[in-house]
Amino acid sequence: MSASDEIWIVGIRMTKFGKHADKDTVDLAAEAATSALADASVTMADIGVIAAGNLMAANAGIGQQLQKQIGQTGIPVYNVANACATGATALRTAIMAVKAGEVRYGLAVGVEKLSGAGLLGGAGKKKNDADVWEPKGRYGAVAPVDGRIGTDAMPGVFAQIGTEYGHKYGGTSFELFARISEKNHAHSTLNPLAAYQKKFTLDQIMNDVMIAYPNTRPMCSANCDGAAAAVVCNGETLKSLSLAQRRRAVKVSASILTTDPYEAGCQVLPNVNTLTRNAAATAYEQAGIGPSDLDLVELHDCFATAELVHYDNLMLCEKGGAADFFNSGATWRDGSIPVNVSGGLESKGHPIAATGIANIWEICHHLRGEAGDRQIDNAKVGLAHVIGLGSACGVHILEKSAA
């Protein structure tokens, strides 16, 4: 592989996640983007393409709105939307442009204002029954079906994904899922950019408000505001940079995006497993790296029930062994494969379109040795995973620079 085929992250930043009442999406996107540009020691004049995502206003053209505040240079903008994988999709889009040789530098940005958004998945407005029953839509439904035929809301969908795993392999319980949440909240206490840095006891988690059994409130991802941005270039461009820049650059050894292939039942309950497994398998192959080489993993713990299944899907454990794997302590920050040392989506927060770049920022932060109190010592290789229901899965494998 020649240097022009290699992809490097030369600048990456996330904003503090949380409530930003005084900032709009453009403010947050601008903060992340200008910080990432400064981190890369480039300006908007160097950027050849922008890929940007803001899921809640996906038709508003966040990329162009951002340009109007930080630099209108006439370059192409790709506004992307791919559910919770929107940020990873933006980065992947910028990477493809660089890989195609069309631009020297690409900028990827993801931003969301989600504080106080409440339940996602089921629409926010009350749906009333009609005066006269009339079949509508692809199921010929005469009335709203959310709550009558299963649930559309995310906590319940992912709860079923967790209980389904237990049905297939055993070993799961309400307490086990709560312990995963306990871990991530404990990890968050070391992350100053997390929306919540509060440690919870197991009892507190299990006795908190039940949202969709077995997910209580602290076991659900936190809706919040935030943005993240990254600047990428290829290995040829990297060669022209200073030694200091090359040392802080992070190699993107694999950048993969998948959707869910057809399997029986996948249109009844979303199958988040196969597309993640496919993305991981392709990523490991592309990077020439196996799960045992990973020093840390940021995976999509939109709910505690989801984290468990992704241990298996990312092949961090043997098939069906996720409960034993977690119980071994492997995924705590002092374990063999620390998972979500940022606090994960349950405490760091989940500003949807920012998430897919923010978890890559977390990995980069450790690979650069800049993670302070939560630094995973000697981190050389990490994996970042996101999943958006519908479905889309992004997996990126990142390696520390040898420079």
Single residue of 58, 117, 142, 315 touching another protein by CB under 8 A? 142
Determine the Cα–Cα distance for residues 209 and 216; give it in Å rounded to an integer: 5
Single residue of 1, 209, 243, 402 touching another protein by CB under 8 A? 209
306: its two tokens = 């989801």
Single residue of 63, 106, 155, 349 touching another protein by CB under 8 A? 155
Which residues are paired to 396 by β-bridges?
A: 255, 384
Shortest Cβ 69–another protein spacing (Å): 35
Residue 130, interface with another protein (CB under 8 A)? Answer: yes
Single residue of 1, 59, 140, 334 touching another protein by CB under 8 A? 140
Single residue of 4, 41, 43, 160 touching another protein by CB under 8 A? 160
Which residues are paired to 49 by β-bridges?
A: 106
The dihedrals phi and psi of 26, each to the nearest 5 degrees, come to -70, -40
Shortest Cβ 276–another protein spacing (Å): 17
Single residue of 76, 101, 116, 147 touching another protein by CB under 8 A? 147
Residue number with CB closer to another protein (56 or 119)? 119
Single residue of 43, 61, 189, 213 touching another protein by CB under 8 A? 213
Tell which phi-psi region holds residue 128, choosing left (phi > 0), alpha (psi between -120 and 50) or beta: beta
CB 401 within 8 A of CB 248: yes
- Residue entry with tokens 């694999």: 254
Determine the Cα–Cα distance for residues 68 and 377; give it in Å rounded to an integer: 41
283: its two tokens = 């990523």
Using the rule CB under 8 A, give the single segment among 55-63, 124-132, 247-255, 356-364 that binds another protein: 124-132
Closest of 312, 335, 240, 272 to residue 4, by C-alpha: 240
Residue number with CB closer to another protein (145 or 289)? 145
Residue 211, interface with another protein (CB under 8 A)? Answer: yes
Using the rule CB under 8 A, give the single segment among 18-26, 39-47, 211-219, 356-364 that binds another protein: 211-219
Shortest Cβ 302–another protein spacing (Å): 14
Residue 334, interface with another protein (CB under 8 A)? Answer: no
Shortest Cβ 323–another protein spacing (Å): 14
Which residues are paired to 387 by β-bridges?
A: 393
CB 95 within 8 A of CB 7: yes
Q: In the 3-class helix/strand/coil scheme, how is 29-55 assigned residue by residue?
A: HHHHHHHHHHHCCCCHHHEEEEEEECH
Residue 143, interface with another protein (CB under 8 A)? Answer: yes
Residue 123, interface with another protein (CB under 8 A)? Answer: yes
* Burial class (CB within 10 angstroms; exposed 0-12, middle 13-18, buried 19+) of 148: exposed
Which of positions 263-302 make contact with another protein (CB under 8 A)?
A: 264-265, 267-269
Single residue of 11, 87, 106, 122 touching another protein by CB under 8 A? 122
Per-residue exposure over 204-227, b if at least 16 CB sit within 10 Å of its own CB, e if not: bbbebeebbebbbebbbbbbbbbb
Shortest Cβ 351–another protein spacing (Å): 21
Single residue of 56, 96, 119, 330 touching another protein by CB under 8 A? 119
* Burial class (CB within 10 angstroms; exposed 0-12, middle 13-18, buried 19+) of 142: middle
Using the rule CB under 8 A, give the single segment among 147-155, 239-247, 250-258, 327-335 that binds another protein: 147-155
Residue 169, interface with another protein (CB under 8 A)? Answer: no
Q: Mask 5-44, x = binds another protein (CB under 8 A)?
A: ----------------------------------------
Q: Where are the beta strands (DSSP E) in 18-153?
A: 47-53, 77-80, 105-112
Shortest Cβ 114–another protein spacing (Å): 16
Residue 402, interface with another protein (CB under 8 A)? Answer: no
Residue 206, interface with another protein (CB under 8 A)? Answer: no
Determine the Cα–Cα distance for residues 197 and 189; give it in Å rounded to an integer: 4
Instruction: Give the CA dihedral 214, 281, 50, 61, nearest 10 degrees.
Output: -40
Summarize as ranges the residues that interact with another protein (CB under 8 A).
Answer: 119, 122-133, 135, 138-143, 145-153, 155-156, 159-161, 163-164, 166-167, 174, 209-215, 262, 264-265, 267-269
